[in-house]
């Protein structure tokens, strides 16, 4: 699928931490949130990120999913597939992404979804979760998709995550 004119790429990534956010088992991940998120915000093509309280070292971990304090999310909007890929695969983000299983449970289902939004639209977490459920129920479609659905996704094909991290 190609990018529709006048649209940006939204993405939601969810995960359940192995331990509470103040537990030493996830301390390295929590300590890196501000650095990695700050880098993302400075990347060419970054448009918007769902923010948390702004407390240092918390990212958006306050947005509890299903009332579970260890089930966290990241929701961003990018100008294009290429700009999101550059951040995911060509920055320090990749090193943390590849180590995901050290801090997160394997969910056994898709934890990542993308979809096109009109330029200027800031998706809500509820909207993003509905897209994720759509992907889980119906597989890749123009409404909700993963990397393989995007013709312009090139770095994913060579740098993609391990199968365990993708579940």
pLDDT at 102 over 70: yes
Q: Is 9 helix (H, G, I), strand (E, B) or coil?
A: strand
Q: What is the pLDDT at residue 51?
A: 83
Q: How far apart are CA 54 and CA 59, in angstroms?
A: 7
Distance of CA 93 to the CA centre of its chain: 11
Which residues on neighbouring strands pair with residue 8, listed in sequence order?
A: 117
Q: Fold for domain 7-166?
A: Alpha-Beta Plaits (3.30.70)
Task: Tell me which of 28 and 58 has the higher pLDDT.
Answer: 28
- Specify whether the CB–CB gap between 164 and 106 falls below 8 A: yes
pLDDT, tens digit, 9 for 90 and up, residues 123-161? 999 999 999 999 999 999 999 998 887 767 676 666 654
* Helix segments in the chain, DSSP class H: 27-42, 81-90, 93-98, 125-138, 155-159, 163-166
pLDDT, tens digit, 9 for 90 and up, residues 33-77? 889 999 999 999 999 999 865 565 555 566 667 888 899 899 999
Domains in the chain: boundaries: 7-166
Q: What is the pLDDT at residue 66?
A: 80
**pTM, rounded to two decimals:** 0.86
pLDDT band at 1 (very low <50, low <70, confident <90, very high): confident
Name the strand (E) or helix (H) holding 18. Answer: none
Q: How far apart are CA 46 and CA 75, in angstroms?
A: 12
pLDDT at 163 over 50: no
Q: What is the pLDDT at residue 164?
A: 35
Q: What is the pLDDT at residue 134?
A: 97
CA distances from 45 to 54, 68, 90, 93, 161 (A): 22, 32, 14, 16, 22
């Amino acid at each position: 699928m190609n990018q529709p004119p006048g649209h940006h790429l939204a993405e939601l990534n969810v995960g359940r931490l192995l331990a509470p956010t103040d537990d030493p088992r996830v301390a390295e991940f929590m300590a890196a949130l501000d650095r990695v998120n700050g880098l993302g915000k400075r990347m060419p093509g970054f448009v918007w990120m769902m923010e948390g309280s702004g407390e240092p070292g918390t990212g958006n971990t306050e947005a509890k999913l299903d009332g579970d304090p260890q089930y966290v999310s990241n929701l961003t909007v990018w100008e294009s597939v290429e700009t999101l890929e550059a951040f995911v695969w060509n920055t320090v983000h990749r090193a943390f992404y590849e180590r995901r299983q050290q801090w997160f449970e394997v969910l056994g289902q898709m934890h990542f979804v993308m979809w096109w939004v009109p330029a200027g639209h800031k998706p809500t977490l509820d909207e993003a979760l509905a897209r994720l459920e759509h992907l889980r129920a119906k597989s890749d479609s123009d409404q909700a998709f993963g990397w393989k659905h995007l013709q312009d996704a090139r770095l994913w094909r060579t740098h993609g995550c391990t199968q365990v991290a993708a579940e």
